Amino acid sequence: MDAKVATKQLTIAGKTFSSRFLIGTSRYPNQQVMLDAIDASGAEIVTVAVRRVSLDGGGEGLFDLLGDRFHLLPNTAGCFTARDAVVTAELAREALETNWVKLEVIGDEETLFPDVEQLLPAAAGLVKKGFIVLPYCNDDPVTCKKLEDMGCAAVMPLAAPIGSGMGIRNPYNLRIIREQISLPIIVDAGVGTASDAAVALELGCDGILLNTAVAGARDPVKMARAMRLGIEAGRLAYEAGRIPRKLYATASTPTEGAIEL
């Protein structure tokens, strides 16, 4: 496969996208900056919080602006129980005519960590209802394996708490997840800058979903482009294969055949 194609393409549930960057739509200074940042990101998948956006008609809404140009991924942000998440996903499917959903079931308002006890039955229920489920979860290999086994289309482990910008806090868990499951791995939450995105892709993750790191940047449009380039660089490095780490130096110039002085 051509290296450029392999680097850019992301396939989820049989649908192929030309970008590994998934981007959110909240917290931008204004709507025009949001649109410009999304364009700069190169993203094809745009996530929208169903519980925070009116699904009714009347005026040009977010879905009207984005629906024809991007693959909309409704999410269940703000849900704290499996029941609420399932109901929200069903509302989104009816209103937006999509069975794709980014599943979020939050444990508490302070940390915004996923509530695994509620997440697993919500995911199982939505899969049975015919949804293509992309669950936001902890960077826990056991949870990710359970989500794979129940039929989710991808797993979305956090790198750090939502909106924290702390970067990849546990690269070892992400490596284990990569080794143990065959689903696409989309790092979701905690990415702060382009180098964080590059590290995630270098570890073998398939993509990044982020919002705050771009929307909250001093220049969201420039940061969106930086993230795009970081993702592409990280994926290229993963496909190329880094050299092993060594304690001592290895000469880059061979010593055999050198002129003796």
pLDDT recorded at residue 212: 94
Residue 252 lies in a domain: no
Residue 168 lies in a domain: yes
Residues 228-240 have a mean pLDDT of: 96
Catalytically active residues, by annotation? 102
Residue 253 lies in a domain: no
**Phi, psi of 59, rounded to the nearest 5 degrees:** 85, 170
Residues 245-253 have a mean pLDDT of: 83
pLDDT recorded at residue 57: 45
Residue among 202, 211, 203, 212 nearest 232 (CA): 202
pLDDT recorded at residue 56: 54
Strand pairing class (15-17; 10-12): antiparallel
pLDDT in tens, 56-83: 543 346 777 787 789 999 999 999 999 9
Asked if the model's pLDDT at residue 43 lies above 70, the reply is yes
Mean pLDDT of the chain: 90
Residues 10-16 have a mean pLDDT of: 95
Residue 254 lies in a domain: no
pLDDT recorded at residue 258: 66
Residue 87 lies in a domain: yes
Q: Report the C-alpha gap between 246 and 203 in whole angstroms.
A: 18
Residue 220 lies in a domain: yes
Residue 142 lies in a domain: yes
Residue among 206, 167, 239 nearest 22 (CA): 206
pLDDT recorded at residue 59: 37
- 3 pLDDT band (50/70/90 cuts)? very low
pLDDT recorded at residue 1: 44
> Is 156 buried (19+), middle (13-18) or exposed (0-12) by CB count in 10 A?
buried
Give the CATH number of the domain where residue 40 resides: 3.20.20.70
Residues recorded for the chain: 261
Domain count, the chain: 1
Residue 249 lies in a domain: no
Phi-psi map region of 127: left, alpha, beta (phi>0 left; psi -120 to 50 alpha) = alpha
Tokens standing for 23?
Answer: 């981007």
pLDDT in tens, 91-149: 999 988 899 999 999 998 888 999 999 999 999 999 999 999 999 999 999 999 999 99
Residues 183-205 have a mean pLDDT of: 95
Range of the domain at 42: 3-240
Asked if the model's pLDDT at residue 20 lies above 80, the reply is yes
